[in-house]
Chains A and B, each alone.
Chain A
Amino acid sequence: MLTAHRIALDPNNRQSTWLARAAGTARFAWNWALDEWQRQYAAWKADNRRPRPSEAALRRQLNAIKREQFPWMLEVTKCAPQMAIMQLGRAFGNFFAGRARYPKFRRKGVDDRFTLSND
């Protein structure tokens, strides 16, 4: 059984700045992937031979360009952008299954968060 335990953190100034940056990276990755998804989906609609967007493909694409275009992403954990895109994939899955609305863009300062995987 999966159980979640929510615990308050006690970060110092340096740490809370880092946490805010990681949350910002996650938000950026989510927004980037959502934008790309919409673009690639429109392209696929126009031309069926193009690949359909998927979260795994988007993660590969981001990893390919982040070193040149978004070098600041490397300053926080790689989990922040990676898990954000995986969560976007789940959000689309929920949308296609009729359980949720279409994913929205995230906004700074509203529910800032990022996820770490344990590996």
Chain B
Amino acid sequence: MKVSGSHIRIPKLGWVRMREPLRFSGKIMSATVSRTADRWFVSITVDTDDPPRRPAENQGVVGVDVGVAALATLSTGETIPGPKPHTALLKRLRRLSRSLSRKQKGSRNRARARRKLARLHARTANIRQDALHKLTSKLTSELTRRFHTIVIEDLNVRGMLANRRLARSIADMGWGEFRRQLEYKAARRGGLVVAADRFFASSRTCSACGHQLEVLPLSVRRWRCRACGILHDRDVNAARNLLAYGLAVLNGSTASSAGCQACGEEGSGGGRKAVVKPASTKQEVSFVPA
């Protein structure tokens, strides 16, 4: 097997055109040819040198709240909308599924309908993947390039998907994949991803004074703190709380003091002490730079 420009030589078959040349240099270890939605792909494994560890542009810390309305809300107040490809293409998906179910089993028309549906599913997945890669690293607006430490929630995604009213919207955002990409990309830059405790009340704690509500229904997008009177955007508030949680972890204090830490704003905490390990084992740090 050999690769030359945008062609790959497969033994006994010959040269096959690839849609783009191989981007990585190094020794080619193996290649797997696979079929997705009746399109052939080759995945070439290359043994490259370790990539240069371009550090994050500043040593900033950010809290990231993932959601259904917006894919991610940062503690800086930015929101990143998700593409929601499945929701957007649902009409076409329904049409094609119905068309497939009407075809006689074993017929050529059925095979063609099946291919059409498979292509739509692949397209949905590609749109989602593109958006997640862009958010976690590719463009200038990305997370691992801008921030050294990223604080996220430890979500029970599988459990949430059991809610049949929310499952479609949740699955459309790809939270699990978002976390996976953040973790490996931060590791590549020597960054740190801190996952907050699963039962950390990020949404219903006031990020200004630490007052904690008993309940906060999902329909409430904005709420006013009864203790200090601040009007909160639900997601931004959660992201700020996560940021405070992350700063507390970096400072080595316990999670319970995270609410107090929230009063100190960005930069007042230990954002620069990224190498400090968390104090307790309860706080899960996904990656500690070597």
Which residue on chain B has the smallest CB distance to residue A21? B13
Tell me, yes or no, whether B31 is within 8 Å of chain A by CB: yes
Check B32–A115 contact: CB distance below 8 A. yes
Check A76–B12 contact: CB distance below 8 A. yes
Tell me, yes or no, whether B199 is within 8 Å of chain A by CB: no
| 8 Å CB contact of A7 from B14, B30, B42, B48 | B42
Pick from B15-23, B132-140, B158-166 the stretch touching chain A: B15-23
CB distance from B19 to the nearest CB of A (A): 4
Bound: A15/B9 CA distance, A: 12
Question: Main secondary structure on chain B at its contact with chain A?
Answer: strand
List residues of chain B with CB within 8 A of the CB of A9.
8, 16-19, 33, 39-42
> Using a Cβ–Cβ cut-off of 8 Å, how many residues does chain B contribute to the interface with A?
38
Interface membership of chain B positions 20-36, coded 1 if the CB is closer than 8 angstroms to chain A and 0 otherwise: 10111011111111110
Which residue on chain B has the smallest CB distance to residue A23? B35
Bound: A10/B34 CA distance, A: 13
Question: Main secondary structure on chain A at its contact with chain B?
Answer: mixed
| 8 Å CB contact of A22 from B28, B33, B46 | B33
Bound: A112/B192 CA distance, A: 37
Check B10–A116 contact: CB distance below 8 A. yes
Check A116–B30 contact: CB distance below 8 A. yes
List residues of chain A with CB within 8 A of the CB of B26.
3
Tell me, yes or no, whether A114 is within 8 Å of chain B by CB: yes
Bound: A19/B29 CA distance, A: 20
Give the most central of A1, A112, A116: most B CB within 10 Å.
Answer: A116
The B-contacting residues of A in range 34-86, CB under 8 angstroms, are: 75-77, 79, 83
| 8 Å CB contact of B43 from A1, A5, A75, A79 | A5
Tell me, yes or no, whether A113 is within 8 Å of chain B by CB: yes
Bound: A4/B51 CA distance, A: 14
Check B17–A4 contact: CB distance below 8 A. no
| 8 Å CB contact of B1 from A1, A8, A16, A117 | A117
Bound: A117/B45 CA distance, A: 10
Give the most central of B14, B40, B42: most A CB within 10 Å.
Answer: B40
Interface membership of chain A positions 10-26, coded 1 if the CB is closer than 8 angstroms to chain B and 0 otherwise: 11000110111011000
| 8 Å CB contact of B48 from A3, A19, A114 | A3
> Using a Cβ–Cβ cut-off of 8 Å, how many residues does chain A contribute to the interface with B?
31
CB distance from B224 to the nearest CB of A (A): 49
CB distance from A4 to the nearest CB of B (A): 5
Bound: A117/B27 CA distance, A: 12
List residues of chain A with CB within 8 A of the CB of B31.
115-116, 118
Check B41–A4 contact: CB distance below 8 A. no
Tell me, yes or no, whether A104 is within 8 Å of chain B by CB: no
List residues of chain A with CB within 8 A of the CB of B16.
9-11, 15
Check B1–A113 contact: CB distance below 8 A. no
The B-contacting residues of A in range 73-111, CB under 8 angstroms, are: 75-77, 79, 83, 111
Bound: A111/B17 CA distance, A: 21
The A-contacting residues of B in range 21-75, CB under 8 angstroms, are: 22-24, 26-35, 39-51
CB distance from A55 to the nearest CB of B (A): 16
Check A2–B1 contact: CB distance below 8 A. no
Bound: A116/B43 CA distance, A: 10
List residues of chain B with CB within 8 A of the CB of A113.
32-35
Can you add 17 more A-B contacts, CB < 8 Å, to A1-B48, A5-B46, A115-B32?
A: A1-B47, A1-B49, A1-B51, A2-B46, A3-B26, A6-B44, A7-B18, A9-B17, A9-B41, A15-B14, A16-B40, A112-B35, A114-B33, A115-B33, A117-B30, A118-B1, A118-B27
- What 7 pairs between A and B have smallest CB-CB spacing? A113-B34, A10-B17, A9-B40, A8-B19, A6-B43, A112-B35, A115-B32
